[in-house]
Structure 1
């Protein structure tokens, strides 16, 4: 497991990276990275079997705390998980776009 900065995450996202948002649904609908799959942190153990093992999985939350915990869990499960430092808050502050609503 490793932590990535927003610039590296933006490049991976532009290349079609798998993104998992571990916030709660009410946070996700307010604004999320386009294409991010919502998997609240508490539900991660049941979703881990559906995540790819052949490429990195980028994990994002509000600020980077929950995503770090989630990425550590996923790494122990054999997934190349990368926590997005700064989270969605940093993403928005850097002027990058978000999508509102329940759909990825």
Structure 2
């Protein structure tokens, strides 16, 4: 699985936030789409596999686990190291 830093995520990336809904509603990377880790199995079809798939969580652990799950199913993904915490610390755009 490829991994990038928060600063390497393209502005128009397909960014999937795998944190739970309450975490996502507090603050998130601008443009991130919520598909919680607990719902990923039933919502895989919502992910556009024709575009690069960037996964983000709080710090990078859950997104790595989801990435491993998706890659076992033949879906290539890119994990965002540092997660939303790193995104905020880097001063990148957020939404609430």
Runs (4+) of structure 1 exceeding 2 A deviation are none
RMSD over equivalenced CA pairs, Å:
1.1
Give unmatched runs, 5+ long, in structure 2: none
Partner of 1:7: 7
Give aligned pairs, total. 96
Using the size of structure 2 for normalisation, the TM-score is 0.92
Give unmatched runs, 5+ long, in structure 1: none
How far apart, CA to CA, are the structure 1 residues paired with 2:93 and 2:14? Answer: 17
Partner of 1:99: 95
Larger relative strand fraction: 2
Instruction: Please give the secondary structure, in 1, of the residue aligned with 2:19.
Output: coil
1:6-85 alignment runs, 5 A limit: 6-9=6-9, 12=10, 14=11, 16-85=12-81
Q: Could you report, residue by residue, the CA deviation over 1:44-94 in whole angstroms, capped at 9, with x for unpaired residues? A: 011112212222110000000001001111112222211100000000011
How far apart, CA to CA, are the structure 1 residues paired with 2:65 and 2:18? Answer: 10
